[in-house]
Amino acid sequence: MGFFGLFLMCGLSIFAFRVFMPRDFLTAYILGISVAFLLSAMFLRGKNHLRKYFDVAFAFFLAGFVSALQQVVVAFNWWSGSTVSDVVASTVFNTILVIIPIIALTRIAGGSMASIYVAKGRFRMGLVLGLAAFMFFLVTSVQGATSLFAGRDVSFERVLLWMHWILLFVLSNGVREEVWIRGLLLPRFESFVGHRAANALQAVVFSLAHVDVRYTPEIFVFLGITFFLGVAFGVLTQKTRSLLGAILFHAGADVPVIIGIFSNL
């Protein structure tokens, strides 16, 4: 329980507590958190009896570091977010900002790709279950976008016109958030609190990371759904030892979200 509470607070300090920060201090806050985790990781690595805690501290540093990178980019206002192409371009660029540093610094620190679940794993199982979930959300996307994400004049005809943008957005976002949460944090949590508690822990962090979203009027319903989706993504990752299935599942769950957003631009 001690590790659970400690890791929960560390995760929320990166992904959720930002909602309480004044906008002018947000970048400084995230950078400060990242530096604190980096210094902690360096200290732990230098002590033989504490070295087993290095990986989790370094994972929190990476999570905070890529969050800070994104925050710096937001300050430049390169994309207005007022068009479909702007929304997609911003998402793709943010994915690059997250994925490259996590993979590169994980390898530099001595970790393998498998250590962040970027591995083949049980490929067929992940592919089949991920695609099945994706197709379910795609088929129900019009209803989901209308009922939960304030979709306006949504129809399958409009969705087809957006399909190439939708696929680019959801796959990019799915890759980013799965590597960021499930890949980076879940295996580190497992080492200290076990598989089930680790999955619940990452799902809480994942859900509360969405507390400040503005694309749904049903925020509490959305956070509840996001928690259970986080659990499902985590179970699939643990069962397949790969992020493939979770990425496809996550991408499908994002389809009604982005349809609702596109319909309001």
Give the tens place of pLDDT for each residue, 229-250.
999 999 999 999 999 999 999 9
Spatial CA neighbour of 229 closest among 251, 198, 260, 197: 251
DSSP, residue by residue, 49-100 = GGGGGHHHHHHHHHHHHHHHHHHHHHHTT---S-SHHHHHHHHHHHHHHHHH
Residue, of 244 and 16, whose pLDDT is higher:
244
Local confidence band at 78 (pLDDT 50, 70, 90 cut-offs): low
Spatial CA neighbour of 12 closest among 210, 256, 230, 224: 210
Residue, of 224 and 79, whose pLDDT is higher:
224
* Res. 138: pLDDT tops 70: yes
User: What is the per-residue pLDDT for 79?
Assistant: 65
User: What is the per-residue pLDDT for 16?
Assistant: 84
User: What is the per-residue pLDDT for 101?
Assistant: 95
Q: C-alpha distances in angstroms, 247 versus 183, 207, 264?
A: 11, 16, 26
Count Cα neighbours of 231 within 13 Å in the Cβ-side half-sphere: 9
Strands (E), the chain: none
Structure tokens at 129: 């279950």
Give the tens place of pLDDT for each residue, 146-185.
999 988 988 888 889 999 999 999 999 999 999 999 999 9
pLDDT more than 70, % of the chain: 98
* Res. 216: pLDDT tops 90: no
User: What is the per-residue pLDDT for 46?
Assistant: 87
Q: For residue 10, count CB atoms less than 10 angstroms from its CB and return exposed for 0-12, middle for 13-18, buried for 19 or more.
A: buried
Contact 201, 11 (CB under 8 A): yes
Instruction: Report the largest interatomic distance among the alpha carbons of the chain, rounded to a whole angstrom.
Output: 61
* Res. 12: pLDDT tops 80: yes
Give the tens place of pLDDT for each residue, 93-132.
999 999 999 999 999 988 899 999 999 999 999 999 999 9
Residue, of 229 and 83, whose pLDDT is higher:
229
Average pLDDT over residues 256-265: 92
